Amino acid sequence: MNKIVWIVLILAGVALLFWLVFGINWRSKQNYDRKHYLLRSRMQAEDTEELRRLLFSNGLTMRVDQRFRPLTMLLAQSGRPSVSLSEPEIIISGKQKFDLLTQDILNAKESIHMEYFHFGIDRYSRRIRQLLMQKAREGVKVRFLNENIANWPIPNIYFNSMRKAGVEVVNFSRSWSLLRFLMTLSYRDHRKIVVIDNRIGYTGGMNITKNYFTRWRDTHLRLTGEAVASLQYAFLDTWLAAGGQLNSAVNSFFFHLDKPSCGQSLGTLTQVTPDDPTSPEPVLLTAYEWILNHAQRYVWFQSPYIAPPPSLISAMRNAAQRGVDVRVMVPEHCDTAIMRPINKSYYAELTEAGVQLYVRSGEFIHSKTIVCDDYLSCVGSANLDYRSFGIDYEINTFFYDREVALRQKQLFVDDLPICHLLSSAEVRTTPWQRLMRHLAPIV
């Protein structure tokens, strides 16, 4: 009898722990306002009309194709940045990103802000780390936001040496109590952000590890122009929420206020959109569904992981039934063993819904992109899965521009020769995959 009691108590304890880590829904206006209070209060006290125009004005919305203007408003809800202008460079080579990023860091004069989900200890990552330390010693203000849960295998000495060199390193996950820590343990900072001298920004799918620089196929962005301010805003928001400090006025972190910017009336219509699990609404999921519901000709996705919520599968099905060409490109082999059966468990449902599912061979593809109707396109950190839409902190960049869309469309087409288009007759879901599928909302 005593054994049965102990077994029941242990199982109850495990269930309670599991619920604390994965079962609490933090989506509410109160939690969202509390999370973003620090930057918003600083902005209210210190910002200027010009800064508000840059980040939150709807002045450029009228330049967006009328069909997509409602999307710009959807993405700007809860005080997120509105449409601005940028000069984007689409990067699909890890070497290209490494070369560009290292050169921009070397040229930095004032500040470097960096936020990554994964920051490795391989020789490429160490080179980036070495440059950050070098620039800090030179007097450049270097702020580094460390996703300490995802990077837990890296010893503290790795980041402590950065601190000794003058780099401000702040851990994303922090708590004053064990209970609070457990309740937020599952929430990860999945964003990829670099802002250099308030003028150059990087964001997209590539982390700082050798896989992204040497092996995998991914898509990333280098941005210049006013849209960099939106990246900066997202970084500063998370920096303050994680416990970082800003020892100067907020408006000093936005170049346009004291120095003329180039191309204020020219450039690509761009909307940088952060999302997080405290947001009252899952803004990226809602946006993806909106795109599918309003597409006229096609919507093409690339994603390394595919475990879409039922509402997104329904939107894909409805679009396909209207005659929209809905395609999803996924890798043949996932980088993690747990995601392989989860990915495959959705193949039958998606193909039966009318989605053209392309399985790409060759190197692992980590791109998270969308292109729609030769006008709207997106590069981001969010996967087509539960975690990105409801648990992780993500950031996506949307473009309202024919030229950028055609470029991304061509990148999709360029990947097709090494893809296999699955038919519904080819796929079936095994009992093991069905079992693993239940883990999709938490892995």
3-state SS, 45-106, equals HHCCHHHHHHHHCCCCHHHCCHHHHHHHHHHCHHHCCCCEEEEEEEECCHHHHHHHHHHHHH
pLDDT score recorded for residue 376: 98
pLDDT at 259: 47
In a domain, 8, yes or no: no
- For the stretch 240-278, pLDDT in tens is 999 999 998 898 999 765 444 444 467 999 999 999 998
Overall number of domains in the chain:
2
CA angle in degrees (0–180, nearest 5) for 316-364-324: 20
Residue 257 sits in the same domain as residue 399: no
Which domain-ending residue is among 272, 291, 316?
272
Same domain, yes or no: 206 and 138 = yes
- Residues 229 and 318 reside in one and the same domain: no
The model's confidence at residue 20, banded by pLDDT at 50, 70 and 90, is very low
Q: Over 70: is that where the pLDDT of 2 sits?
A: no
Q: Are residues 250 and 328 in the same domain?
A: no
**In this structure, is residue 11 part of a structural domain?**
no
Residues 163 and 102 in one domain: yes
Q: What is the pLDDT of residue 32?
A: 83
**For 276-406, where are the E strands, in sequence order?**
298-302, 306-307, 325-331, 356-360, 369-372, 376-380, 384-385, 394-400
Residue 243 resides in a domain? yes
Give the pLDDT of residue 85. 95
Query: Do the domain assignments include residue 23?
Result: no
Are 347 and 220 within one domain? no
Q: What is the pLDDT of residues 379-406, one digit of tens each?
A: 999 999 999 999 999 999 999 999 999 9
With b for 16 or more beta-carbon neighbours within 10 A and e for fewer, the 397-422 pattern comes to: bbbbbeebbeebbebbeebeeebeeb
Residue with the larger pLDDT of the pair 343 and 439: 343
Q: Is the pLDDT of residue 16 over 70?
A: no
Residues 185 and 304 in one domain: no
Q: Please identify, among 248, 272, 296, the residue that sits at the C-terminal boundary of a domain.
A: 272
On whether the CB atoms of residues 27 and 278 are closer than 8 A, the answer is: yes
State the Cα–Cα distance between residues 319 and 373, nearest whole angstrom.
13
Mean pLDDT within 93-99: 97
Assess whether 37 and 169 both reside in one domain.
yes
253 and 321 inside one domain? no
| Same domain (yes/no): 288, 267 | no
Portion of the chain with pLDDT greater than 70, in percent: 87
CATH of the domain at 390: 3.30.870.10
Is position 209 within any domain?
yes
Whether residue 286 has pLDDT greater than 50: yes
Average pLDDT score, the chain: 90
More confident residue, 32 or 442: 32
Answer whether residue 411 is part of any domain. Answer: yes
What pLDDT, in 10s, does the model give residues 160-219?
A: 999 999 999 999 987 655 656 665 667 899 999 999 999 999 999 999 999 999 999 999
Residue 97 and residue 178 in one domain? yes
Summarised one tens digit per residue, pLDDT across range 341-353 is 889 999 999 999 9
Domain that holds residue 165: 29-72+82-272
**Of 152, 169, 157, 175, which Cα lies nearest the Cα of 244?**
169
Write down the pTM of the prediction. 0.93
Residue 343 inside a domain? The answer is yes
Same domain, 298 and 263: no
Last residue of a domain, one of 272, 295, 311: 272
How large is the average pLDDT for residues 312-322?
97
Q: What is the pLDDT of residue 22?
A: 56
In a domain, 375, yes or no: yes
